[in-house]
């Protein structure tokens, strides 16, 4: 079973890219972030034509998340609990039935948080605290759980081509990385790092200053697995080649393969 995450940076602008990639990679479940459209404006038809069920939590012009699944999506929940005043579309959760049980998938578009000296960074840290509490509650279910998405967190120096360039950025501040580690330390596994020690495993290259051409990237798109999901992990990777397309997203897909019961 392949589960992927991709900040598509406007699904309506990248529908053609997304459809071509889905045909190529054949993921069973896909978490999309920054779809940048209202729920009813999501271009469902091209994805449904490929056999995907679609669940969307959209927002006009900004943010927005969606889950695509070749299996039915059940118990779909929009929004991250813990702050009733938060109206930003950054979280959607669904259960996917698989042979032998279920997989719980959460699609996350964590706030950027810049500039750090503003309420935007407070919102980021508050969101991460809520995500930690949510993860704690879901781990009690003792089922395969995947937190997938654009976390806007550079976990470690090796996750940036030039760590020094990010020391004052909300993506790499010590408090950001500490909050991310708190989630990991609940018992979650960073799937990519569990399967590879390779260098320069990046998922994002800015549009500015020739970042892609210089491979000046960072890794901020993650798949975090509960113990029950990590036990099934057989592979993980990054589809870097999509960044070289014409008019690409500044992110590329990351994915995992899980071995499910026959």
Q: What is the pLDDT of residue 3?
A: 98
Report the first-to-last Cα separation within the chain, whole angstroms. Answer: 11
pLDDT beneath 50: ranges in the chain: none
Neighbours of 10 (CB within 10 A): 15
**Hunting for tokens 């039935």 — which residue is that?**
97
Name the residue among 173, 46, 44 with its Cα closest to residue 113.
173
Task: Say if CB 226 and CB 233 are below 8 A apart.
Answer: no
Q: Give me 23's structure tokens.
A: 């045909």
Q: Is 251 annotated as a binding residue?
A: yes
Q: Is 152 annotated as a binding residue?
A: yes
Q: What is the pLDDT of residue 100?
A: 83
Q: What is the pLDDT of residue 39?
A: 98
Q: What is the pLDDT of residue 99?
A: 86
Report how far residue 14's alpha carbon sits from residue 10's, in angstroms, rounded to the nearest whole number: 6
Report how far residue 69's alpha carbon sits from residue 139's, in angstroms, rounded to the nearest whole number: 22
**Stated pTM of the model:** 0.97
* H or E stretch at 145: strand 145-150
Q: Is 48 annotated as a binding residue?
A: no
Size of the chain, expressed as the number of residues it contains: 262
Report how far residue 91's alpha carbon sits from residue 77's, in angstroms, rounded to the nearest whole number: 8
Report how far residue 128's alpha carbon sits from residue 92's, in angstroms, rounded to the nearest whole number: 15
For 65-121, write each residue's pLDDT tens digit. Answer: 999 999 999 999 999 999 999 999 999 999 999 988 899 999 999 999 999 999 999
Report how far residue 123's alpha carbon sits from residue 31's, in angstroms, rounded to the nearest whole number: 22
Cα 99 to its chain centre, rounded Å, is 24
Task: Say if CB 254 and CB 192 are below 8 A apart.
Answer: yes
Q: Is 9 annotated as a binding residue?
A: no
Catalytic machinery residues: 109, 150, 251
Q: Is 190 annotated as a binding residue?
A: no
For 2-17, write each residue's pLDDT tens digit. Answer: 999 999 999 999 999 9
Class of the 2-258 domain? alpha beta
Q: What is the pLDDT of residue 262?
A: 60
Report how far residue 216's alpha carbon sits from residue 28's, in angstroms, rounded to the nearest whole number: 31
Sign of CA dihedral 60, 65, 71, 73: negative
């Amino acid at each position: 079973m392949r589960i992927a995450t991709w900040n598509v940076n406007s699904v309506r602008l990248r529908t053609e890219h997304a459809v071509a990639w889905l045909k190529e990679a054949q993921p069973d479940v896909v978490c999309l972030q920054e779809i940048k459209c209202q729920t009813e404006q999501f271009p469902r038809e091209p994805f449904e034509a490929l056999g995907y069920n679609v669940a969307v939590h959209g927002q006009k012009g900004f943010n927005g998340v969606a889950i695509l699944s070749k299996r039915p999506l059940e118990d779909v929940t929009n929004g991250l609990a813990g702050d009733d005043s938060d109206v930003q579309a950054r979280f959607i959760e669904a259960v996917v039935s698989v042979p032998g049980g279920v997989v719980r998938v959460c699609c996350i578009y964590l706030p950027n948080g810049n500039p750090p000296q503003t309420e935007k960074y407070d919102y980021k840290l508050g969101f991460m605290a809520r995500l930690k509490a949510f993860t704690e509650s879901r781990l009690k279910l003792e089922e395969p759980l995947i937190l997938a998405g654009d976390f806007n967190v550079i976990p470690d120096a090796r996750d940036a081509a030039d760590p020094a360039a990010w020391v004052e950025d909300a993506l790499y501040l010590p408090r950001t990385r500490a909050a991310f580690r708190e989630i990991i330390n609940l018992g979650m596994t960073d799937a990519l790092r569990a399967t590879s020690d390779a260098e320069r495993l990046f998922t994002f290259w800015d549009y500015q200053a020739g970042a892609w051409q210089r491979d000046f990237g960072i890794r901020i798109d993650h798949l975090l697995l509960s113990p029950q999901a990590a036990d099934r992990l057989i592979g993980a990777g990054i589809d870097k080649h999509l960044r070289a397309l014409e008019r690409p997203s500044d992110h590329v897909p990351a994915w995992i393969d899980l071995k499910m019961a026959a």
